[in-house]
Amino acid sequence: NPALTGFWPLNLAWMYAKVGSSLDSRDIDVTADGSPALRFLICIVYSVVCAAGLVGNLLVLFFIRVKQDRRKSGVNFFVLNLAVTDLQFVLTLPFWAVDTVMDFSWPFGDAMCKIILSVTVMNMYASVFFLTAMSVTRYWSVASALKNRTAHKSCSAKWVCALIWTLATLATAPTSIFSAVTNVTGEKLCLLRFPGGQYWLALYHIQKITVGFVLPMVIVSISYFMLLRFIHKRSMKTSNPKRRSQVTKSVTIVVLSFFVCWMPNHAITFWSVLVKLNAANWDKSYYIVHTYVFPVTVCLAHTNSCLNPVIYCLMRKEEGVVPLTDRATVGWRECFIFA
C-alpha cells in the first residue's frame, strides 16, 4: 500500500474519488515512507486529547449539575449540549488511534465504520453550531439584560438545541450513507465512496467548509464585534475600563482559539476542492502537505474538544468583575460562557 500509506483516514475518503478506481504511486512522483513516527505522534495526541476531553467535559457536566438549582439560564443548555457533544467526539478518538497505529487499516468492521465516522462528523458540526449559538446568546443576553426573562430564554434555548442537533444530523447524512469499509490495494479502509466521483466529493468538502467553518466564523465574529461595541459604550458611560478590558481579552481568546483550531484544516480541505475541480494540480507539494501536514491540522482541530472546558472555566472569572450596571448584572452573568 505504498501510495496510500501515511494518508489521514478521513482524507483518504476525499482523495479516493471514483468507485472502482485506485490510487497508485504513479499518480504522483513521490513515494510515501509510511511515516511511523507521525502515526505514533498522532496516537499520543489522540490519547492526551481523549483523556483531557473526558475529564474536562465531565467536570463541566458536574459543575452544571451542582449549580442547576442556583443558576438556570438559557446558555447553560448550550454549555450542557456542547459538553455532551465534545464527550461523544473524544470517545471516537480511541478508534481512530487504533486505525492510525494499523497504518489506517480499519479493523472494526463496516457497521462500526459507519457509526464512528458518522458520530465524528456529526459532533464536529454540532460543536461548531453550539459555539456559534452561544456567541449570539452572549451578545443578546448582555444587550437585552434590562428585560430579564430567564424562563423564556431557557425554553427558547431548548428549541435551539433541538434545531442544532437536527441540522447536525442532516449535515452528516452524506457521511452516514456513503461511508463504508473499502478494499484498496489489499487494505481495508474506512472511507467515503460517492457514486458521482470527485465532483460529489468536492461538493462534500464545500459543504463542510461553508457550513462547518465560514458561516459560523462570520456569525461568531459579528456577534462579538457587536458585543465589544456594546460593552465599550457602556464602559465609557460608567467609567469602567476594567470591564471593557476583561471582555476584550475573553473575546480575543475565544475568536483566536476557534480560528486557530479549525482554519488550517479547512484551508487544506479547500485546496483539495480546487484539485478535484481541476483548478489546482495534484503534485508533489500537494501530496506532502496531505501526508504530513494535514494529520497535524486534524489533531489541532480535535484539541478544540478539550479546549472548550478550559476556556469555559477561565471565562467564569468574569463573574467576579463588577458589572456594567446594576440592572445588567443578571444578563451579564447569564452569558459568562465563551462561545
CA distance 3 to 22: 10
Calculate mean pLDDT across residues 73-92: 85
> Is 3 part of a structural domain of the chain?
no
CA separation for the pair 211, 122 (Å, rounded): 12
Q: Which three cell numbers stand for residue 72?
A: 438556570
* Section 305-317 average pLDDT: 68
In angstroms, the CA 80 to CA 57 distance is: 9
Q: What is the mean pLDDT of residues 73-83?
A: 79
Query: What is the domain range of residue 139?
Result: 9-334
Q: 187: domain CATH number?
A: 1.20.1070.10
Average pLDDT, the chain: 75
Between 80 and 71, the higher pLDDT residue: 80
Q: What pLDDT is recorded for position 85?
A: 92
Q: Where are the alpha helices (DSSP H) in 149-214?
A: 150-178, 198-209
For 206-229, the pLDDT digits (tens) are 999 999 999 999 998 898 888 888
Do residues 179 and 191 lie in contact, with contact meaning Cβ atoms separated by under 8 Å?
yes
Number of helices and strands in the chain (H, E): 13, 2
- The pTM of this model reads 0.79
DSSP class of residue 1?
Answer: -
Contact 126, 169 (CB under 8 A): no
Say if 2 falls within a structural domain. no
Residue 40 lies in a domain: yes
The confidence score (pLDDT) of residue 20 equals: 32
What is the per-residue pLDDT for 34? 53
Residue 1 domain flag: no
The region, left, alpha or beta by phi > 0 then psi within -120 to 50, assigned to residue 34 is left
From the list 338, 333, 308, the residue with the least C-alpha distance to 58 is: 308
pLDDT at residue 201, rounded to an integer: 83
Looking at the 3D structure of the chain, how many domains does it have? 1
For residue 126, the one-letter residue type is A
Q: Which of 95-99, 117-121, 161-165, 250-254 has the lowest mean pLDDT?
A: 250-254
3-state DSSP assignment of residue 289: helix
Whole-number CA gyration radius for the chain? 22
Note whether residue 119 is domain-resident: yes
291 in any annotated domain:
yes
Type of residue found at 156 = S
Where are the extended beta strands (E) located within the chain? 179-184, 187-192
Residue 4 belongs to some domain of the structure: no
